[in-house]
Each structure stands twice: as C-alpha cells, then as structure tokens.
Amino acid sequence: MIRRREFITLLGGATVWPLAASAQQGERVRRVGVLTAIGESDPEAQLRMGAFREGLQKLGWAEGRNLHIDYRWGEGSIERTGTYAAELVALNLDVIFAAPAAAAVALHRKTRTIPVVFAQVPDPVGLGLVESFSRPGGNITGFALFEYAIGLKWLELLKQIAPNVSRVGILYDPEQPTSPGYITTIEAAAPSLRVDVLPHPVRDAEGIVRAVETLVAEPNGGLILPPGALVVAHRDLIISLAARYRLPSVFPFRYQVAGGGLASYGVDTLDLYQRAAGYVHRVLKGEAPATLPVQFADKFELVINLKTAKALGLDVPVSLLARTDEVIE
C-alpha cells in the first residue's frame, strides 16, 4: 500500500543543489522534464510527484547527484500546458515525463524526437500518441489510465447509489482531448439506465457554477466528472456545489471523495506514477520508447463517502458497500 504522507515528506524535504557542485566526479547528471496539467500547490499533485520521485530514487536516481528535474505546472489550463511543453522541448532534455493526457498530447505536438513517458492517458492509440500498445513505434510510451468504457461504470454507480436520478450532467473541459470519448460512452449507456445525459462544457469556475445551476433547475439531477485538469483544479468548488444543491456525484479518483465527493471508481494514480518512473529509468539507460509497450493500470478502487451520502439523504445498498474498497465515514 502506498503511503501518501511519505510522498509529501519526500517531495517537501528534497533540496536541489547546483548541478556542477553536487554531481560526483565523473558522473553525468541526467536531465528529466516533468509536465503536468495541474497546479504545483495542489496537494494531489504533490503526492503524485512524490510517488514519481520515490520510484526514481529506488532505481538509483538522486537529485543533486546524478539527476536534475525541470518541472512545469499547467495549473488547470490547456493553453498554459501547451506553452510549457514547448519550453521543455527547447531545453533538449534526456526524457520528459508527462501526465495526465493533456500534457502528453501537448508534448506529442511539440516533439517527435525527445523521449516522452506518460501516465494517466486513457486512449493513447486513439489520441495518436502511439501506433499500438505492444509497439508504440515513436518517441512516446507510458502507462494508460483506463479505457473510455469506465464511463459506463460511473453511470451505473451513480444509479446504484441514487436510483431516482434521471438527468445526469457531465462537466467537461472542451479543450480536454479525452472528453469526447467519455461522453460518447456515457451517452450510449444512458437509454438502458433510463437517464438523460446533459454534457456541459466548462472553461472556468464561473462556467462550472452556471452549468450546475442549469442542471438543478429541474429535479432528479446527478453529476459525473470525467478526468481533466480543469475539474481537478476546481474540485472543491464542484464538491461544495454538489452539497449545496444535493446533487449525487461520481468522480474518477479517491482523493475527490476523501475531499467530500460522494463516490469514485478509478485507478490508484500514485501506483501509475511510480511505475512510470521505471520507464524513465529504462530510457535513461538507453532503451527506446518505441520498443517499450504501453501498460494499463491494474489497481482499481471503489470509494464511497457515507457521510456525504447521509447528507444527501441516500441509503447506499449493502450489496454495493460489500464491494467497496474504502468507505469514508
């Protein structure tokens, strides 16, 4: 089990020393770039980077000795993430780590030569990042998040917890490259579950508020929040709006439920970041991304916040609780 507090300590306690002074004599300092679409001050971002750094340290890479990391934080903006992708490419780094999908896509648009390792990308073939899972074929490979079919699981979970929901709003960033895949999957499953799906494109906090107010203008609403940097950046706002308007909501990741969301079904992101460090290590040792197969997440977790369910007046079925990996009370 990955301990999140250890990652915070690891990241917060590290010190980066001048490269020339700290490298051991005769040892080459390798330069790694990190591009993430979320913000540096975000606690979840710190946890993820801590997991990545711990993975590198276990493989013998230490900042200030044989490694230097250049970070760029997109702060929830697709445009800013693209700008930072260009900055990292200009540094001519040994390898760049990119997460989530928006960061990987931004780098793919800027370079076809610098090695790139990604994490949290749901459809790397469909997004054009790799030729195939087994033989990526270019300069990029990594660890896929999950397939778009998980959207059906989110919708089923919402209906299991809140059977009266008949109108499901999907808040998504229209610039997020993975948004159409999730929406299409959820819309295809909606008739069988007798719900109307209402996608709401949002670009900022004001847009999120307007979308939620539109949804609650009629009864029996619920929310699904697909992955995306903008939703991550504004998750506290979304959770507070869901509480205010008594909207059952399903998220893709555990930390969103720990923060007050109702339920989530998704992968252990910290595990993906640690595994991605292994691919960065292999690239630094001379292997080519073209020959490193894309790997999928294999640790999924269902999390339910019973305190939030009670506040919404919902009784979570015992059969569902029996299958839940973590219950937050």
Confidence (pLDDT) at 8: 37
The yes-or-no verdict on residue 310 having pLDDT over 90 is yes
114 DSSP 8-state letter:
S
189-218 pLDDT, tens per residue?
999 999 999 999 999 999 999 999 999 999
The yes-or-no verdict on residue 24 having pLDDT over 80 is no
The yes-or-no verdict on residue 14 having pLDDT over 50 is no
Greatest alpha-carbon pair distance for the chain in Å reads 69
Lowest-confidence pick of 3-12, 139-148, 157-166, 180-189? 3-12
150-267+301-328: same fold as 4-145+269-298? Answer: yes
The yes-or-no verdict on residue 27 having pLDDT over 80 is no
CATH number for domain 150-267+301-328, candidates 3.30.450.20, 3.90.1150.10, 3.30.1540.10, 3.40.50.2300: 3.40.50.2300
Rounded to whole angstroms, what are the CA distances from 242 to 21, 153, 235, 262? 52, 20, 10, 9
What mean pLDDT do residues 94-109 have? 95
Confidence of residue 308 (pLDDT cuts 50, 70, 90): very high
| Domain 4-145+269-298, CATH | 3.40.50.2300
The yes-or-no verdict on residue 52 having pLDDT over 70 is yes
CA distance 304 to 322: 11
The yes-or-no verdict on residue 230 having pLDDT over 70 is yes
**Are 272 and 145 within 8 A, CB to CB?**
yes
**Spatial CB neighbours of 53, under 8 Å, sequence gap ≥ 6:** 10, 11, 14, 63, 69, 277
Confidence of residue 76 (pLDDT cuts 50, 70, 90): confident
CA distance 245 to 239: 10
CA distance 28 to 265: 43
- Say how many residues make up the chain: 329
Lowest-confidence pick of 14-23, 113-122, 296-305? 14-23
The first and second tokens of residue 105, run together, are 């896509």
Confidence (pLDDT) at 20: 38
Q: In what order do the strands lie in the sheet with 140-144?
A: 67-73, 30-36, 95-99, 116-121, 140-144, 295-296
The yes-or-no verdict on residue 235 having pLDDT over 60 is yes
The bridge status of strand 67-73 relative to strand 300-305 is unpaired
Q: Tell me the domain boundaries of the chain.
A: 4-145+269-298, 150-267+301-328
Confidence of residue 77 (pLDDT cuts 50, 70, 90): confident
Confidence (pLDDT) at 19: 41
What mean pLDDT do residues 26-54 have? 91
Confidence (pLDDT) at 26: 53
The yes-or-no verdict on residue 272 having pLDDT over 70 is yes
The bridge status of strand 300-305 relative to strand 263-267 is antiparallel
